[in-house]
């Protein structure tokens, strides 16, 4: 990723190493065959209290464990050990807020499709990173286009594994979107139903309902997606939100006629969509439901909502 601001340390295979020394061999198995798994996590600093929290750290590391199990990668650390290592590397770099990238991959040792005998490498990198799609996008929204590239099917590369190989699809869709003047792409699944963005889950607001594709349609088990669904449900049940959250299949035309569309992800957070395939969504900027959920989401990650304190790991 271009423009990553360097910090002092990366955690690699159980110890802190200088940033420039966190290297791997060019013949590492995962470099050639895409057999790595990873996570994306954020640490937030409350601007009023100065306290810092990693958002849903345990859940992310548990998903990393599940990805390793599906990919048949032997993980030499537990989720709790990786969570502690994450806090260690953030503190070592003196960061109060950052993006966190744990990755598990097959290293040097064998060549060929069969990975048997290759060593498992584990690293956790952290660095300062602002809004993934830009600060202005959080209010003004992004322009997206439906990609000609389909999302991988559940029996090809299963969406339950967050693998490096999975993101070749995303890379192709992202480059296509940029070539067509869009900020981001929306991928359909093999059945032609709306799946997800290149690194985000999708939500549609229309007729009193917040809809998002079910996991069975091939979407990643997004942790931010799950968080927003829970937040929306709680707000609706408390009478503070007048739209009901629902998991249901969506078509591309559902995006065209929506009152609001927004994307969620650890990197993207809660980003509104201003247009789809050149068709303006709502007023062409952040809508009231997106704004309410976005505001609540940031209150949660900053530690301002006691109800969700169990999602936060204090730095």
pLDDT in tens, 35-52: 999 999 999 999 999 999
Q: What is the phi-psi region of residue 164: left when phi exceeds 0, alpha when psi lies from -120 to 50, beta otherwise?
A: alpha
Q: Helices (DSSP H) in the chain: which residue ranges? A: 29-33, 57-71, 79-92, 137-140, 167-179, 223-237, 252-256, 288-301
Helix axes 57-71, 223-237, angle to 10 degrees: 130
- Alpha-carbon distance of 203 to 199, in angstroms, equals 14
| Architecture of the domain spanning 137-304 | Alpha-Beta Barrel (3.20)
- Alpha-carbon distance of 239 to 281, in angstroms, equals 26
What is the pLDDT at residue 136?
A: 80
- Alpha-carbon distance of 57 to 69, in angstroms, equals 19
Helix axes 57-71, 79-92, angle to 10 degrees: 120
User: Residue 255 burial (CB < 10 Å; 0-12/13-18/19+)?
Assistant: buried
What is the pLDDT at residue 132?
A: 67
Which are the catalytic amino acids? 162
Round the average pLDDT of the chain to a whole number and report it.
95
Q: What is the value of pTM for the model shown? A: 0.94
- Residue spans in the chain of domains classed CATH 3.30.470.10: 9-127
Nearest to 248 by CA among 222, 224, 214: 214
What is the pLDDT at residue 1?
A: 43
Pick the CATH number of 9-127 from 3.40.440.10, 3.30.470.10, 3.40.50.2300, 1.20.120.530: 3.30.470.10
Instruction: Report, as ranges of residue numbers, the positions in the chain whose pLDDT lies below 50.
Output: 1
**Structure token digits, residue 142:** 């992004």
- Residue spans in the chain of domains classed CATH 3.20.10.10: 137-304
pLDDT digits (tens, 9 = 90+) for 124-137: 999 998 766 667 88
């Amino acid at each position: 990723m271009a423009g990553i601001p360097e910090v002092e340390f990366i955690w690699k295979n159980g110890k802190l190493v200088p940033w420039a020394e966190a290297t791997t061999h060019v013949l590492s198995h995962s470099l050639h065959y895409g057999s790595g798994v990873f996570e994306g996590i954020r640490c937030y600093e409350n601007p009023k209290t100065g306290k810092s929290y990693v958002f849903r750290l345990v859940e992310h590391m548990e998903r990393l464990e599940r990805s390793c199990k599906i990919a048949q990668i032997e993980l030499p650390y537990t989720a709790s050990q990786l969570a502690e290592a994450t806090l260690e590397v953030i503190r070592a770099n003196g960061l109060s807020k950052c993006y966190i990238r744990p990755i598990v991959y097959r290293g040097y040792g064998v060549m060929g499709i069969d990975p048997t005998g290759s060593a498992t490498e584990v690293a956790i990198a952290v660095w300062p990173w602002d809004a993934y799609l830009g600060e202005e996008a959080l209010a003004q929204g992004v322009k997206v286009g439906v990609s000609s590239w389909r999302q991988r099917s559940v029996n090809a590369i299963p969406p339950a594994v967050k693998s490096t190989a999975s993101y070749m699809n995303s890379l192709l869709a992202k480059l296509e979107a940029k070539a067509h003047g869009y900020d981001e792409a929306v991928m359909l699944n093999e059945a032609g139903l709306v799946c997800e963005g290149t690194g985000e889950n999708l939500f549609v607001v229309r007729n009193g309902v917040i809809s998002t594709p079910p996991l069975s349609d091939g979407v990643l088990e997004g942790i931010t997606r799950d968080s927003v669904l829970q937040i929306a449900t709680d707000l609706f049940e408390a009478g503070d939100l007048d739209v009901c959250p629902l998991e249901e299949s969506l078509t591309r035309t559902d995006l065209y006629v929506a009152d609001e569309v927004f994307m969620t992800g650890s990197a993207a957070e809660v980003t509104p969509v201003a247009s789809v395939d050149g068709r303006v969504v709502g007023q062409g900027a952040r809508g009231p439901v997106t704004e309410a959920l976005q505001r609540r989401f940031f209150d949660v990650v900053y530690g301002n909502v006691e109800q969700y304190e169990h999602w936060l790991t204090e730095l």
